[in-house]
Amino acid sequence: MLSYGLFDGVARRDHLVAAAVLGPDDYREIYGKGMEDYLDYLLELEDTLLDVDGTVKVVRVPFHREMYREWLEHSTWQDGPEARSAWALEVAQNVESYERLRAERPVLPRAPEEEREVVEVLYLPCPLLCYNEEDLQRLSRQLDGQALARLWDKIMAWIPPLPPYRKLSRLRARGLTLAFGDRLIEPADVYELEHHFTSLLLGGSESGIAKVPRRFRIKVPELEIEVYPLLIAVLLPLVLRGAEEDVEFLAEWLTEKFVPGTTVSEEVRAVLRSAGWEGEKAGPPGPLLTARGVPGYLEALFEKYEPEEEEGGPDDGRGSRRRTIRRVK
């Protein structure tokens, strides 16, 4: 397998991937762009190397203009991204040339991974008892904006101080912003919603509210439900967006600290009441979870409320036993 120009300066021969790493002056000369674009280039280069299929050995080759131009004069290549990749591959395959170049340039530019703009969505699970179809239908409506704003104010005063979100470039940011989704969602939608927010630019949300598309609304089960009450677990999304190091820190902090009974519990209850929640008959909301943590929470919840036949239960006047809690999968 021989491929040139996987990215500017990146080539592959079988298991070997060579990448010419441009310095800031080289990048400015070639592309006529400044430092912010250069730092994005470094991130894109790393993404390319991570996305190469198969088991490969990656060799990063410091770009050397004079060495490259001399090589270009004696080659059949025309200057460009593929030519730079062919040069890098030739250097990487020549141990003596590579070692001499690395001795001259021992330090390679590093991609600013800590500034990479990322999105993480946490979910606040809320176990609810629904006594009829109207209870289920109420869960599909948008949440009260004022209640969400009060919750956002409370949580911003509660979390550790972090720099506000600032967009640096196409791929980079500093600080973070967070926003609560304006709808409750079903557990089955956690990964799709995260993908939606990853592809959507939130910006610095001062309202603390992120619009959740209507297609994610809670839906009444299509099958006719004959037994109530129903135990249903719904999720309130909390969207974090910003620099990777800040988002990762706050996500970890929140999953540790945001548990039932925290200082923001009353504001959470106010949001839930706007969706028809009537108290902790099935348990308090929380803790905050990542998408990966949702299945374990549901399993524990539904094991606790597994339906049971109640021997000798009181009659409801129609010869049937007392209704028991059921779950909506």
Based on the domain organization, do 203 and 79 belong to the same domain?
A: no
pTM of the model: 0.83
Based on the domain organization, do 199 and 228 belong to the same domain?
A: yes
Based on the domain organization, do 221 and 88 belong to the same domain?
A: no
Distance CA(315)–CA(323), nearest Å, equals 10
CB atoms inside a 10 Å sphere around CB 180: 25
* Residue that finishes a domain, picked among 111, 144, 163: 111
Quote the mean pLDDT of the chain: 86
* Residue that finishes a domain, picked among 111, 141, 175: 111
* 43 confidence band (pLDDT: 50, 70, 90): very high
Distance CA(154)–CA(14), nearest Å, equals 56
Distance CA(45)–CA(65), nearest Å, equals 19
* Residue that finishes a domain, picked among 111, 145, 167: 111
- pLDDT at 34 exceeding the cut of 60: yes
- Average pLDDT, integer, range 60-73: 97
pLDDT digits (tens, 9 = 90+) for 264-285: 777 888 888 777 666 556 677 8
Based on the domain organization, do 169 and 98 belong to the same domain?
A: no
- pLDDT at 318 exceeding the cut of 50: no
Buried b / exposed e along 49-61 (16+ C-beta atoms within 10 A): beebeeeeeebbb
Which one-letter DSSP state was computed for residue 289?
A: B
Structural domain of 76: 2-111
Of 290, 286, 284, the closest CA to residue 252 belongs to: 290
Based on the domain organization, do 137 and 247 belong to the same domain?
A: yes
Report the domain count for the chain: 2
Can you say whether the dihedral through the CA atoms of 251, 198, 214, 234 is positive or negative? negative
Based on the domain organization, do 77 and 209 belong to the same domain?
A: no
Distance CA(182)–CA(142), nearest Å, equals 6
Based on the domain organization, do 40 and 73 belong to the same domain?
A: yes
Distance CA(36)–CA(168), nearest Å, equals 7
**DSSP element (H, E) containing 8:** none
Based on the domain organization, do 79 and 180 belong to the same domain?
A: no
At CB < 8 A and 24+ separation, what contacts does 256-261 make? 258/124, 258/286, 258/287, 258/288, 259/286, 259/287, 260/284, 260/285, 260/286, 260/287
Based on the domain organization, do 300 and 188 belong to the same domain?
A: yes
Retrieve residue 194's tokens: 């995260």
pLDDT digits (tens, 9 = 90+) for 124-162: 998 888 877 787 788 888 899 998 998 898 889 889 999
Based on the domain organization, do 273 and 211 belong to the same domain?
A: yes
Which one-letter DSSP state was computed for residue 213?
A: P
CA dihedral 255, 259, 263, 267 (to 10 degrees): 90
Based on the domain organization, do 201 and 317 belong to the same domain?
A: yes
Give the pLDDT confidence score for residue 277 in this predicted structure.
66
Q: Say if residues 167 and 203 touch (Cβ distance below 8 Å).
A: yes
User: Helix, strand or coil for residue 116?
Assistant: strand
Question: Parallel, antiparallel, or unpaired: how do β-strands 117-130 and 57-62 relate?
Answer: unpaired
* Residue pointed to by tokens 């106010």: 270
CA 31 to chain centroid, in Å, comes to 31
Which one-letter DSSP state was computed for residue 305?
A: T
Q: Say if residues 9 and 84 touch (Cβ distance below 8 Å).
A: yes
Based on the domain organization, do 190 and 312 belong to the same domain?
A: yes
250: left (phi over 0), alpha (psi -120 to 50) or beta: alpha
